[in-house]
Amino acid sequence: MNELDELIIKFLRERLGEDSELAIKLYMAYKESGRHGIIKVINEELSKVGVEVGEDEG
């Protein structure tokens, strides 16, 4: 994690409160694996109610 990431994560924590953990998870997933990573994180959350989204646009 570089300085920019640290700065972004710090600001996300300050701005988003309890939503910040998900936001940071999404940000790191994007940094690591692009859109694929984001969809993976979202599907982890949605699996709690048996819903899944695909990697198509939107």
Partner 1 sequence: MRARVNELIVRDFRGFRGEHKITFNDGINIIQGPVGSGKTSIIQAIEYALYGTQLEVKERVSKLSDLINEDSNSAMVKLTLSNDIEVIRELRRAGESARETASITINGTTYRGGDTYSRIVEVLGVDDNDFERFVLVTHRTLEALVYGNVFKRSLFIDKMFGLDALDNLNRSLPMSQIENAITVLRQRLASVKELPEIISKYGSIEKAQGKVKELKDEIEQLRKEEGELSNVYGELLRKREELLRGFRGIEEVYSDYIATRLRRENLEQELEKYGVKEINEMSIRLRLEKIKDSLVEKLEEYALVREADDINKLVITNDNLADASEKIYTAFESLVRLKDKLNEDKEYLSNIRSDLEAQVEALKASLRELEPRLSQEEPRVREYRALVDRYGEPIKVKREIEELRGRLEKISIEEGFRSSLLNVLQYILINHEDRCPICGRPLGDDDYERIKNRITELSKSHSEEINNVRSRLSELERALANMETLLPIVNDYDATIERMRDVRSRYEVVLSKLETVEKSIRDIDKRTQVLTRFIDEVRVEIDNVDKSIAYLRKYRELESLRRREEELRQRLANLGVDTQTMISIEEQIRYIDNKLTQVRTKLSDESAELSRLELALSSTGFNREDPSVLRRRLDFLEDFYNRLTRIRAGIRDVQARVRDEMIKVIKNNVGSIFKMLYPYGDLEGAGIEVIVRDRGIIGVVSEYTLYALRPGGRKVTISRLSDGQRLTIALSFLLSTYRATNHNIDFLLMDEPAPYVDQKIRKALATLLTRFIGEELIGQVIITTQSEDLVNDITNAAKENGIKYKVIKLIKDGNERRIVSPND
Per CB under 8 A, residues contacting partner 1 are: 2-4, 7-8, 11-12, 15-16, 19-20, 22-23, 26-27, 30-31, 33-36, 38-39, 42, 45-46, 48-51, 53-54, 56-58
User: CA separation (Å) from 10 to 15, 21, 49?
Assistant: 9, 11, 31
Q: Least separation, in Å, of the C-beta of 15 and partner 1?
A: 5
Give the angle subtended at the CA of 46 by the CAs of 9 and 50, to the nearest 5°: 165
Least distance between partner 1 and beta carbon 51 (Å): 6
